[in-house]
Structure 1
Amino acid sequence: MKAARFERPGIIDCIEVPDLQPRPGKVLVRMLQASLCGSDLHAVYMPLGPMDGPARPGAPGHEGVGEVVDSDDPRFPAGTVVLTAPNVEEAACFADYQLIDPAYLVALPQGARPDHLVVAQPFGTAIFGLKQALGDSGTPDCAVVSGQGAIGLFFTWLLKRRGVRTVIAIEPDAGRRALSASYGADLALDPAGDPVADAVRDVAGSGGAPFVVEAAGRDASRASAIRLAADEARVLLFGMPESMTMDGFPFGDVFLRRLTLISTHSSQEEADLASFRQAVDHVARGDLPVEPLTRSAYRLDDIREAFEAAHHCADGVVKARIDFT
């Protein structure tokens, strides 16, 4: 079978590997669709730890839809189309087949489009993140979302649906800024050319925004998120760090203005994969615009090209998808 393999920083290629064999307690899934996560880009281009040499075939892919080929779990008989939401240890969906613990599978509605449902995995992580950040604390009047890649667009949509009066999107790419309006952004700002801090304060008040989401995964964006927050605001640091140090991070602002910082991960460990199930329901019903996120499709043979396009936001790519069909 074919599988992607991370070789070294910046290099991931498609190779031939031995076919996977069924194993007790695991589900063998033939992949139909997969998509690239921002964390995959970090793993390949900005390794922080384990991704520093040849990795297991299929890694670090963890956003996928496939069809069950072999299973001893009665919930997932052969032929079931499933969302795969593996943890880091099992992430391997950049391959023709993957073996996965059934705890990380969600059966999909019959007739649903795999190329659309694949976005339910990253969308589920955003749903989970917002639960962790806001919970039952109420709905802020204004929120800022820094970064309008797929995850940022999900947060923009979720915040508007939650009832936030004004959602401000910050994004350097003009195409993504334009796209943010269809996900609910009331104002889209270019950090390179717009007076972002002044614009946020004009809308949210002189103190800044009561809730800020950092979804770009860039150190500069994290620092900006802190400075845009009001005193005692909540700041969700969702994007992965570029490094494990705090160089340039304005911790003094966090301390003096009593900010609450939230980071989230491991949504796969939530009971019954609840956030992923919510995401599947939204996508299957057509609540969320998915076409802009699924139009950039690549073959597994072209995995390096897909990573390069996603990394450089080339040709309007918002999210790169691997089509196995």
Structure 2
Amino acid sequence: MSHVRGEAAVLVEPGRLEVAEVAFREPAEGEVLVRNTVAAICGSDVHRVRAESPFFRDMRDHPYPCPAGYPGHEGVGEVVESRSARFSPGDLVLTVPNHAYMASFARYQTIADRFLLPVKGTGAPTVQLMAQQLGTVVFALKRFWPEPVPEGSTAAVVGVGSAGLLFQQLLKHRGFEKVVAVDLEPGRLAVARSLGADATVHVPGQSAEEVVMEATGGKGADLVVEAAGTDGAREHAMRMVGQHGRLGFFGMPEDYDMRIPYAHLFVRQAQLITAVGGAQLEPGLPSFRTALELIGDGSIRVDDHITHTFDIKNIADAFDLAHNRQDDVVKIALTFG
């Protein structure tokens, strides 16, 4: 199948996505052409598309207009053409691209085989799709807490959108006795409770620090994960960490600079760890393989995560909803007619 054409979203300028019919590049050696079944919007996509801060305006991977399908990087589809020894036409795959291959907001995408994993044909594509984001969470938690979890440990997650809900479940799976969920949206906190959060905090009406201190007998959390991608969330996280605790910052920066309560962290001797990106660069994609296993055996529930679905033609509306976070949205999927 050469010179295949189909619909794709094109980021033509900051904040403006247009849908057009485009021709897709033929695969080179070691690449395949995938017909996407479903894609999803990541929080980082919203930042990249809107480019509202100097940091995101400067970090563009491409000049405008960007390549078709950018910055989509969460997708499930079928191989329709292959120049790879590892994949054949008809294979169902999870796409986990690096920046050079971000193109999931399109009917087709050409991608290197090293950024693909096979998926079973029996599961729902929207469930399999969640293994991309879960893989990045698995990778991050290996950085935040690589060793066994001591008995009685407490963790907190600030921002329980899709990534935060995955962190919450994975922390429980790893052995944290208590997990506290913090968010601005009551609907997301309700989902967090249904997935096993031991306590929830609706900020700014409640004090995240007070709830965590009460849950830990005044000690503070052993690990606080920020999964919202905002400086406000990171400020909450820094106030919640306990003595010799750890801060895991997962969200991308809002801007170049932010305020750090250094005296607070100094007194508590807290450790700050970042984990933005990197899972795609692990040889053999082990974090994503683990994610597929955790979803497949039911250890991590993802059926509550995708709350809204849009056709690719309406991707602008989908991004507006993802940004405004109305209608109890958690995560948005995109389909292709």
TM-score (norm 2): 0.92
Q: Which residue of 2 aligns with 1:11?
A: 16
Whether the aligned pair in 2 keeps the contact of 1:95 and 1:300 (CA below 8 Å) is: yes
Q: Distance in 2 between matches of 1:155 and 1:63?
A: 17
For 1:281, the aligned partner's letter is E
Which residue identity is paired with 1:120? A
Deviation at 1:109, TM superposition (A): 1.6
**Matching residue's letter, 1:282:** L
The yes-or-no answer on 1:220 pairing with 2:232 is yes
Letter in structure 1 aligned against 2:220: G
Counterpart position of 1:119: 130
Structure 2 vs 1, CA of residues 53 and 253 (structure 1 numbering), >3 Å: closer, same or farther? Answer: farther
The corresponding residue for 1:130 is 141
- Percentage identity across paired residues of the two chains: 38
1:90 CA displacement: 1.1
Q: Which of 66, 85, 105 is residue 96 of structure 2 equivalent to?
A: 85
C-alpha distance in 2, partners of 1:124/1:62? 12
Cα shift at 1:256: 4.1
Look up the match of 1:307: 319
1:283 aligned counterpart, secondary structure: helix
- Name the residue aligned to 1:38: 43
The yes-or-no answer on 1:110 pairing with 2:121 is yes
Deviates more, 1:42-51 or 1:102-111: 42-51
1:194 pairs with 206, 218, 221, which one? Answer: 206
Deviation at 1:137, TM superposition (A): 4.7
Give me the CA root mean square deviation. 1.6
User: 1:257 offset after TM fit, Å?
Assistant: 3.0
- Equivalent pair of 1:222/1:249 in contact (CA under 8 Å): no
CA distance in 2, matches of 1:102, 1:251: 44
What displacement does 1:254 show? Answer: 3.0
8 Å CA contact retained: 2:173, 2:299: no
Q: What SS class does the counterpart of residue 245 from structure 2 fall into? A: strand
Partner of 1:209: 221
Give distance in 2, aligned partners of 1:74 and 1:313: 43
Structure 1 residues 53-202: aligned runs within 5 Å: 53-139=64-150, 141-202=153-214
Per-residue CA deviations over 1:30-78 (Å, capped at 9, x if unaligned) read 1011001111011112324243742111110000001001112232111
Q: After the TM superposition, which segments of 4 or more aligned residues of structure 1 sit over 6 Å from their partners?
A: none
Structure 2 stretches lacking a partner, 5+ long: 1-5
Do the aligned residues in 2 keep the contact of 1:4 with 1:59 (CA within 8 Å)?
A: yes
SS in 2 for 1:151: helix
Contact 2:310/2:335 (8 A) holds in 1? yes
Alignment of 1:213-252 (within 5 A): 213-246=225-258, 248-252=259-263
1:77-129 per-position Cα deviation (integer Å, ceiling 9, x unaligned) = 11000000000111111111111110110000232221211111001111111
Cα offsets for 1:301-320 (capped at 9, x unmatched): 11111111111112221001
SS of the aligned residue for 1:306 comes to helix
Distance 2:128 2:57 in 1: 30
Within the candidate set 268, 274, 279, 1:257 is matched to 268
* Separation in 1, partners of 2:229, 2:314: 25
- Where structure 1 has 5 or more consecutive residues not aligned to the other structure, the ranges are none
Q: How many residues align?
A: 324
Judge conservation of contact 1:34–1:94 (CA < 8 Å) in 2.
Answer: yes
SS at match of 1:291: coil
